[in-house]
Amino acid sequence: MRVAVLSDVHANLEALDAVLERADALGARRFFVLGDLVGYGADPNAVIERLTASDATMICGNHDLAATGGFDLSWFNDAAAAAIEWTTRVLSAASTEVLAGLSPLRDVDGTLLVHGSVRDPVAEYLLGTDDARASFGLRGFDLAFFGHTHLPTVFACDPDGRVRGWVLPEDRPLPIEPGVRYLLNPGSVGQPRDGDARASFLMCEEGGAVLHRVRYPIERAQRKIREAGLPAWLADRLAVGQ
Ligand code: ZN
C-alpha cells in the first residue's frame, strides 16, 4: 500500500493542498502526519479539517502542544511564540480537541511515528549520526519516521550496528533493504528549511521510499500571514525555503 508521509505542515494550507493533490495522483492510500500541524502559518483550522477529512494517521509536534497549553512557550523564539499565541486565539474548539487528542509518538503496526526523535519525541532535533544511534538503540523498530528539523534526511543502521546519515535526494528511490533499520524524515510541507521553497513529502511502499517536492502558490500563503498580523519574517522565509 502506498503511504504519503507528511510533516511540519505549520498551518500552510496552500502547501498542504498541493501535496495532497500530488500524493493522490501518485496513488497514496494512506497518510502519516508527523506533527506540527499548526504554528507559523495562517490556516490552522483549515489544515486540521483537511487532514481529518483525509483520515490521516497523525501525531503532534511541539507547536501543536504549545498551542494547546502542553509545552512551554519560553522554548520558542519571538516570532514562533507570537505565532503560537495567535494560533491559540484563532483555534476552533473542534481543532483544539483534535490537537489535544494527539500524542508525539505512535506505533502503527510496528512502524514508529515521532515528531522529534525516539529518544525525545517532542523536542530533539535529529541531525547527526550520534543522535540517530541513540534513537535506534531505544526501541526495536525497523522503520521510523520523524520530523521537526524540516530537512529531508535518512539515517540507516546496518546489521553490524553502523549508522549512516545523508540528505534524501528528490525523485530518487531509496531502497528499503532487509536487515537495515531506517529513520526517515520527509522534510516540511509548510516551511521547508533546506534552501528549496517547494513543499516536501515522502511516498512509501513495500521496499522503498521516494522524496517529492511540489510547487505551490507561496505568495498566497505569504499574503495570508501578513494579513493575519503574524510576524512578517514568517512570510518572507517561505520564499527562500529557510
Ligand atoms: Zn516544525
For 14-59, what is each residue's pLDDT tens digit? 999 999 999 999 999 999 999 999 999 999 999 999 999 999 999 9
pLDDT on residue 29: 95
Q: What is the DSSP string of 66-86?
A: HHTT-S-GGGS-HHHHHHHHH
CA–centroid distance, residue 159 to ligand 1 (Å) = 31
**Euclidean distance between CA atoms 135 and 118, whole angstroms:** 5
DSSP state of 42: S
Percentage of residues in the chain having pLDDT higher than 90: 95
Instruction: Tell me how far CA of residue 64 lies from CA of 110, 129, 204, in angstroms.
Output: 24, 27, 25
CA–centroid distance, residue 116 to ligand 1 (Å) = 9
**Could you give the dihedral angle defined by the CA atoms of residues 121, 194, 25 and 42, in that order, rounded to the nearest 10 degrees?**
70
Cell 549520526 found at:
129
pLDDT on residue 14: 98
**Could you give the dihedral angle defined by the CA atoms of residues 205, 196, 106 and 117, in that order, rounded to the nearest 10 degrees?**
120
Minimal CA–CA distance to 235: which of 188, 187, 190, 186?
A: 190
DSSP state of 168: P
CA–centroid distance, residue 179 to ligand 1 (Å) = 31
CA–centroid distance, residue 148 to ligand 1 (Å) = 5
CA–centroid distance, residue 191 to ligand 1 (Å) = 8
pLDDT on residue 75: 85
CA–centroid distance, residue 160 to ligand 1 (Å) = 33
CA–centroid distance, residue 39 to ligand 1 (Å) = 8
pLDDT on residue 31: 98
CA–centroid distance, residue 12 to ligand 1 (Å) = 12
Give backbone dihedrals phi and psi of 48, rounded to 5 degrees, phi first. -65, -40
CA–centroid distance, residue 125 to ligand 1 (Å) = 10
Query: Are 113 and 144 within 8 A, CB to CB?
Result: yes
**Euclidean distance between CA atoms 194 and 176, whole angstroms:** 24
Query: Are 122 and 113 within 8 A, CB to CB?
Result: no
pLDDT on residue 207: 87
Instruction: Tell me how far CA of residue 203 lies from CA of 16, 25, 36, 96, 192, in angstroms.
Output: 15, 11, 19, 28, 17
**Residues of the chain with confidence (pLDDT) below 50:** none
Neighbours of 66 (CB within 10 A): 26
